[in-house]
Chain A
Amino acid sequence: MNVRETEIQLFHLTKRFGDFIAVNNVNIEIHHGEFFSLLGPSGCGKTTTLRMIAGLEEPSDGQIFLAGEDVTYKPAYLRNVNTVFQDYALFPHMTVEENIYFPLKMKKINRSRAQPMIEEALTLVNMTGFGKRLPQKLSGGQRQRIALARSLVNRPRALLLDEPLGALDFKLRIAMQKVLKDIQKNVDITFIYVTHDQTEAITMSDRICVMREGIIHQIATPDEIYNSPASPFVASFIGDMNFLDGQVIDQQGDTIITNVEGYQITSSRLMGTFSVGDSVVTCVRPEKICLVKVCGNEFMNKFENHFQSSIHRIVFRGNDYEITLIFGQSEIRLIESASDFNDKKIGEQLFIGFRKEDVTTYLKECKKVCDYETNLN
C-alpha cells in the first residue's frame, strides 16, 4: 500500500453560520494511514471541519474527496468514515454488543455473522467480556473504548475523533493516548484527530494542522511546528515562547539584525521578507536560552546573541526553574533545570545567550495563512 496514497482532500472548504465564517477556505490533504491532528483553540473551526468530513454538516462552499471520490453532497450514512464523539454517544438503550453491532446491522449483516466481528472489536480495545453490559454501567474510559470499537468494527477508511480524551483525567488520558496510537498502527486506518491540547497533538500526530478563527496557520510535522512555527500564533500556541517587539536595522542574506529594547538581536530563522525599518516580532523559546555567571569567549562564540541582565523573578516548577530576567523595558524568560540552579537570587547580574538559529522573526502585521501550494506536498 502506497503510504503516500491520498485519503482525504479538502478543497476551499468553507462553512458559514449566518455572518459568522466558522471555516474559511480550508485546503488539506491527508495521506492514508496518517495520524493527522486538527489543533487550535475553542471556536477555531476544527470540529466544524471534522463534522463536514463526516457528513454531519453541510459545507457552504468547497469540496470534500474521500479516496478520490467527491462526497461533498453525500450524507453521513453513505460515507465510509466513522466518528468517535466527544461525549461518546453510546446508545443507552442498547447493550455494548448491540451498540457495536449497530453499524453492521445497517450494512445488513445478520447477527450471527456479525458476532465474531463484534468480539474482535472488543478484543481490539481490550474490553472482552463486557458485551452484555449497558453503557451507563461503564466508566468514562471504558465507554470511550466501546465508542472506539463501535466506530472501528466496520473497518472505515478513516476514523474521525472529536476530542475523545477530553473528559478523562490526566493519567487515564495518557494511557488512552498510547492505546489509540497502538490501535491506529494495528488497524492501518487514517486517524483525523481534533484537539485543543497541544501536548497531545505533538506526541501523537504524524502531522498537525493548526487552525485559528477558521483559517489554517500551518500544516506540518510536530517537529516543524515546534521549531519553525509559521506564524506568531502557532509559535504562541505550541510550547512556551518569548515575544519581543523590535525593528530591523540590518539585513544580510539570510540573517537580520533587529533592535529590540535597545539590544541587537541576530536572527537567522526568518518568516517573511524583511527590509530595514520593518516592525517585527522576535521570538525565542525559553529552553533555548542559556544562563551563565561569567561570559567567556567560548560563550560569546557559541551564542551570537549574548547579553547581560538581572533576575527579576524566579518560579520553582518542581522539575526546573523558570527564571525571568529584565530585558530593557521588557522581560525574557528561560528554563533552568533544578540541578543547574545553584541558588540564584533575584537581582543577581548574569549573562544570557542564545543562537541566531533559535530566533524566529515575523513581520509585525503577520497574519500568515498557509499557501495552497506549500501544504499539498
Chain B
Amino acid sequence: MNNTSSFQRKKRSFPFLGVYGALVYIYLYFPLLVVFVYSLNSSRSTMKFEEVTFDWYAKLFQNKELLTSLLHSIQVSGLAVLFAMVVGTLGALFLNRVDFRGKGLFRTLAMLPIILPGIIVGLSLLIFFLNLKLQLSMWTVIFGHMSFTTPVVMFQVLARLARLSRNLENAAMDLGANPLQAFIYVTFPMIKRAVIGGALLAFTMSFDEIIITYFLTSTYNTLPIYLYGMLRFGLSPEVYAISTVVLGFSILLIILMARYTGSGEEKITMS
C-alpha cells in the first residue's frame, strides 16, 4: 500500500507557489489601492502626495450632473433587472419543462448578450432601433440592458430548477393544487434565492455597463457614461473620488450577494 496519503501530498507543496500567489493578489489589488489613495490626495498632481483630505468626496455631492447620472443608472438598472426577473424566470421555467429540438441552440443564443463583445450587441441594437425609428433615450438604454440582464437571471434560476426534484410540483398538484397554485406555493419559494441572486448579479453588471449604453444613448447619461466623459479630460481627484465610491458600492453588493446566495442555502436536494 502506497504510503503517500493525500494529506502528505499537500504538505509537499512547492513553496514558491505561495509567493507567486501573493504576487498575483498584489497585482489584482494594487490598482484599486492606488485609486483609493489618490482620492484622498489634496494635490491635483499624481506625482506628489500632499495631505489627506475628503474634500473631493464632499464635492461629489454638489455635482449635479453626477448625481443625475447616478439616478439614471439606478433607474436603468432597476427596470432592466425587474424585466429580467420576470422574463428570465419564465424563460427558465420554459427551458426546464419543455423539451424541444434545438434547445441547445436556444440556450446558446440566449447567452450571446453576455458572452459577445459589447460592441456587437450595442451596434446591432442601435441599427435595429434606428430602423424602427426609435429615438435614442432612456428607453433604448433600458432595452439594451434587458438583453444581458435577462439571461443572467434566467441561467441562475435554470440551474436552481435543475437541482429541484420534479416530484415536488407533481406532489403539489397531486394534493389538489392547480398549476398556478403549485407555482406560487411550492416552486417559487424554492427558486426565490436564485431569482434574487441573479437579480443582484445582473444589477451589478448593468450598473457598470458602458459599451452598450454608449451606443444606445444620445444625451441620457448613466454613471459610467459620465465617468467615461470625465476621463476624456484626463485624470483628476474627482475621478478618483467617484471611482472609490463606485468601488465601495461594488464591494458592498458582492458581500450582499455572497451572503444571500452562498450561505443559508438549505439542503434542498432532499428526498
List the interface of chain A (C-beta within 8 A of B). Answer: 54-56, 75-77, 81-83, 85-93, 102-103, 105-107, 134-136, 143, 150-151, 154, 167
Total cross-chain contacts (CB, 8 A): 78
Q: State whether B168 touches A106 (Cβ < 8 A).
A: no
Contact of A106 among B181, B268, B270, B271 (CB under 8 A): B181
Q: State whether A103 touches B175 (Cβ < 8 A).
A: yes
**Chain A residue nearest to B268 in the complex (CB):** A92
> Which of B6-14, B53-61, B63-71, B184-192 forms contacts with chain A?
B184-192
Q: State whether A56 touches B174 (Cβ < 8 A).
A: yes
Residues of B within 8 A of A135 (CB): 270
B176 at the interface (CB under 8 A from A): yes
**With A77-B177, A91-B172, A103-B175 already in contact, 6 other A-B pairs whose C-beta atoms are closer than 8 Å:** A76-B170, A89-B271, A92-B268, A93-B266, A103-B176, A106-B176
**Count class of interface residues, chain B:** 20 to 34
Cα of A55 to Cα of B173 in the assembled complex, Å: 9
Known interface pairs A136-B266, A167-B271. Does A93 touch B189 (Cβ–Cβ under 8 Å)? yes
Q: State whether B177 touches A89 (Cβ < 8 A).
A: no
Q: State whether B270 touches A92 (Cβ < 8 A).
A: yes
Q: State whether B176 touches A89 (Cβ < 8 A).
A: no
Q: State whether B190 touches A92 (Cβ < 8 A).
A: yes
Q: State whether A55 touches B176 (Cβ < 8 A).
A: no
- Identify the interface centre among A56, A75, A82: most chain B CB within 10 Å of its CB: A56
**Chain A residue nearest to B176 in the complex (CB):** A106
Residues of A within 8 A of B176 (CB): 77, 103, 106-107, 154
Distance between B233 CB and nearest chain A CB, rounded to angstroms:
53
Residues of A within 8 A of B167 (CB): 85-87, 89
Report B173-204 CB contacts with A as 1/0, cut-off 8 Å: 11111100110011001100000000000000
**Chain A residue nearest to B267 in the complex (CB):** A136
Cα of A154 to Cα of B182 in the assembled complex, Å: 17
Cα of A179 to Cα of B145 in the assembled complex, Å: 58
Cα of A54 to Cα of B170 in the assembled complex, Å: 10
**Chain B residue nearest to A107 in the complex (CB):** B176
Residues of B within 8 A of A106 (CB): 175-177, 181
Known interface pairs A93-B190, A106-B176. Does A87 touch B271 (Cβ–Cβ under 8 Å)? yes
Distance between B184 CB and nearest chain A CB, rounded to angstroms:
11
Distance between A103 CB and nearest chain B CB, rounded to angstroms:
4
Contact of B175 among A92, A154, A167 (CB under 8 A): A154
Report B86-115 CB contacts with A as 1/0, cut-off 8 Å: 000000000000000000000000000000
Cα of A277 to Cα of B50 in the assembled complex, Å: 113
Contact of A82 among B174, B189, B266, B268 (CB under 8 A): B174
- Identify the interface centre among B174, B186, B271: most chain A CB within 10 Å of its CB: B174
Residues of A within 8 A of B189 (CB): 93
Cα of A135 to Cα of B267 in the assembled complex, Å: 10
**Chain B residue nearest to A98 in the complex (CB):** B185
**Chain B residue nearest to A147 in the complex (CB):** B171
B165 at the interface (CB under 8 A from A): yes
Distance between A114 CB and nearest chain B CB, rounded to angstroms:
13
Residues of B within 8 A of A107 (CB): 176
Contact of B170 among A85, A90, A92, A105 (CB under 8 A): A85
Distance between A189 CB and nearest chain B CB, rounded to angstroms:
15
